Chain A
C-alpha cells in the first residue's frame, strides 16, 4: 500500500511540475560546481536533497543548501558507503516556497529531495560576488524522512569496561 501511495505522490508531483522547469536545462549539482562559470546566468533545473538549515531572512528570501551526491539515495546511516565529500550549492528561494517543507537533511534525517528551477547566479555582483541558485519553482520529488540509528552496544560495553579497569587501576596505584 505504501508503494502505491508513493507512486501516486510521485506521479502527481511530476504532473504538477511547472512548464518553466521543462524549459530550463536540467543539470546536476556536480555540473553546476564544475562548470559554474559556463552556466552563469542560465536557467537551470537541478535535483537534490535540501540539507543543513532553512534560513528565513527579513528580505523575503530563504537560504539553504542543495546536495547532489551519492548520500541522497544511499545515506551512510542506511549502509551507504563513504565515498568522499558532499557536493552542494547554496540556493535561495522566496520564503513562501520554502515554508512548509520537511526539515532539512542532517543526522538521522534525509531531507526532502526536490527539483529546483531557477537562475544560476555565478559571482553575482548584486550579492558581492556570491554564487548560488535563485529558485523560481520548487517541486518535492521525495519527502524528507527519518534515518535509522541505534546505539553501538559493543562499543558501550568495551568503553565501560575500559573505564572500569582504569578506575580499578587508579584505586590500587602506588602512593605518589
Chain B
C-alpha cells in the first residue's frame, strides 16, 4: 500500500532545497563579479535576476523548518532529483537573456547540458559570447561535475548528508564523514585547478602566443570543462582551436584526472599508490580503453583519414580519450566526425557508452560495473563448465578484498541495463525522425553518457521532442537513475497514495 507523503515530508524537502539554492545563489556571485570587472553590462542584469530567483527560493525554502529535521532516504533522493531539475531552469536565465538562443527550451537545454557535464550545445555564435557568460557556462560544468549537493555539503552537513551524497551518484565514502569527504574532493579539484590552469596558461602565453589575460581565460575554461569532463569550450572549434599538441597533452591529463574516481585520487595523493593498479576498476578501464583505442585506430587508418603515424596517434588518441572519459572535446569538426564510419565510429560509440570510473565526474555505465558484469558472466560460465559441486570464487579487489554478492550483481546488472535502455530510447526517437541509425545511436549515447561529442544531430533546428528526450537522458544519466525513480515514486505516492 502506498503511503501518501504528509506535510512534514514536504517541509523537510523544501528546507534542504532552500539551503542548496542559497549555496547556488552564492555561486552566482562569481559570474556577476566577472561581468562587472570585464564591464559586460548586458549580462549583469541577467545574473542579478538569476541570483535573486535562487535567493528567494532559498529563503522561502528554509522558512519551512520541519518539526523534525531528519532527512530519510526517500527525502534525500527527492531533494537531489529536484535540485538537478530546478537549478538548470534558473541557471538558464542568463543564457536565455543573452540573445544567443532561438527559443527558451534551447537555453534550458544548454543549462542541463552544462550541469550534467554533457557538453552538447544549442548556443548560437559562441565566438561572440560575453566572457562572463562563457564563464557561467563552464562554471555550471564545474558545479555539476563536483556535484551541487557536494558544494552544499561542504558548507552544511547535518543529518541526512550521507543520503544526499549518495543520491548524486557517488558511492564511495573516502573519509569518515561526508563533510570531510566533500572537502577532500574540493581539495583535489583545487590542486588540479592550480596546476592545470598554470600549465595551460603558460602554454597559451609562451607557446601559442596569446595575450596573457586570454591565455589564462582559455586555461581556466579548459580546466573547468576538462577536469569535470564537460566538454564546453570558449570557441566554436573546441580544442581544435588551439592547433597545439602540447595544449592537447595538458588537456588530456585533466580529462584522465576527471574520469578517475576520487577514491583513486585519495590513493594517489596519500598512498598506497601501488594498490591502485590491483583494483578491478582500474584494470577494467585500462582494458576497455585499450580495446576501444585499437578499434578506433584501425577504423581511422582503414578510411585513410590520417596517413601519418603522428597524425593517427595524436587525433585518434585524443578523440578516444575524450570519448571514454566522457569529456567530449574534439579536434575535428562534427561534420568530419559524422564521416568516421565503421570501426572508427564503433570504437568511439562503445567508449562513450562504457564511460569512466564511478564517483568521478564522468558518465556512462562506468568501469566498476563493467568489470563486475564481466566477472559475473565469467563466473556463470565457469559454474557451467566445472563439476556440479565445484565452488566458483566470487572475490575481487577494489580498495581491499570484496565479494560479488547476489545483491551487488543484481544492482550492477539493473543499472547497466537501464543505461542500455536509455541509449536505445534516444536512438529510437531519432530514428523515428528519419535520422540515420549510426547518427541517432551516436548522439543518444553521447547524451545519456554525458559525453557531448556530436555528429550534428544536436542543432537549433532539431525536433522539440528529441530535444526533450536528450534532456531527460542527460538528467537521468548523470543521476544514475536512483534519484529519478525515487522522485517518480514520491510523486506517484502523493497522487495515488492513501
Contacts and interface: CB of A to CB of B under 8 A. Distances in A.
A166 B236 contact: no
Contacts of A169: 56, 59-60, 63
Contacts of B47: 159
Nearest to B40: A107
B52 A163 contact: yes
A57 B312 contact: no
Contacts of B45: 151-156, 158-159
Interface in B167-217: 207-211, 214
Interface stretch (B73-81, B119-127, B401-409, B430-438): B119-127
A73 B59 CA distance: 46
Nearest to B300: A129
Contact of A163 (B55, B63, B97, B127): B55
Interface stretch (A20-28, A80-88, A112-120): A80-88
A92 interface: yes
A162 B305 CA distance: 55
6 contacts: A55-B209, A90-B237, A128-B311, A159-B49, A161-B52, A162-B55
A129 B314 contact: yes
Interface in B94-130: 97, 99-102, 121, 123-130
Contacts of A106: 127-128, 131
A51 interface: yes
A166 B41 contact: no
Q: DSSP majority for the A interface?
A: mixed
A101 interface: no
A145 interface: no
Nearest to A151: B41
B301 to A, nearest CB: 12
Contacts of B284: none
Given A90-B237, A153-B45, A51 B211 contact: no
A89 B59 CA distance: 48
A92 B461 CA distance: 32
B295 interface: no
B384 interface: no
Contact of A166 (B59, B241, B308, B461): B59
Given A151-B41, A155-B49, A160-B48, A77 B128 contact: yes
Given A90-B241, A129-B315, A71 B335 contact: no
A63 B460 contact: no
Contact of B241 (A65, A149, A162): A65
A168 to B, nearest CB: 9
Nearest to A171: B59
Contact of A159 (B40, B48, B60, B313): B48
B40 A149 contact: yes
B397 interface: no
Contacts of B124: 71, 76, 82-85
How many chain B residues sit at the interface, stated as a range, is: 35 or more
B202 to A, nearest CB: 14
Interface in A52-80: 52-58, 62-63, 65, 67, 69, 71, 75-77
A166 B62 CA distance: 11
A158 B125 contact: no
Given A55-B210, A76-B100, A173-B63, A105 B127 contact: yes
Contact of B51 (A33, A65, A159): A159
B210 A76 contact: no
B127 A86 contact: yes
A132 B243 contact: yes
Interface in B359-408: none
A84 B459 contact: yes
A52 B40 contact: no
B101 A82 contact: yes
Nearest to B47: A159
Given A84-B459, A159-B45, A169-B59, A129 B336 contact: no
Given A36-B335, A150-B41, 8 more contacts: A51-B127, A53-B214, A67-B236, A90-B237, A107-B129, A152-B45, A159-B47, A174-B63
B163 to A, nearest CB: 20
Contacts of A131: 332
Interface in B284-332: 305-308, 310-315, 331-332
A127 interface: yes
B236 A85 contact: yes
Q: Which 9 residue pairs spanning A and B have beta carbons closest together?
A: A159-B48, A162-B52, A129-B311, A155-B45, A82-B124, A166-B55, A86-B236, A152-B45, A125-B308
Interface string B57-84: 0111011010000000000000000000
Of residues B45, B50, B245, which shows the largest number of chain A Cβ atoms within 10 Å of its Cβ? Answer: B45
A95 to B, nearest CB: 9
B240 interface: yes
Given A36-B336, A106-B128, A173-B63, A84 B307 contact: no
Of residues B44, B56, B314, B333, which shows the largest number of chain A Cβ atoms within 10 Å of its Cβ? Answer: B56
Nearest to A152: B45
Contacts of A160: 48, 52
A42 interface: no
B333 A129 contact: no
B128 A75 contact: yes
A53 B237 CA distance: 13
Nearest to B215: A53
B306 A165 contact: no
B460 A166 contact: no
Given A76-B128, A155-B97, A166-B56, A81 B102 contact: yes
B412 interface: no
A32 B86 CA distance: 41
A169 B131 CA distance: 33
A71 B235 contact: no
B448 interface: no
Contact of B209 (A57, A77, A156, A173): A57
Nearest to A90: B243
B53 interface: yes
Contacts of B128: 51, 71, 75-77, 105-107, 109-110, 147
A96 interface: no
B42 A129 contact: no
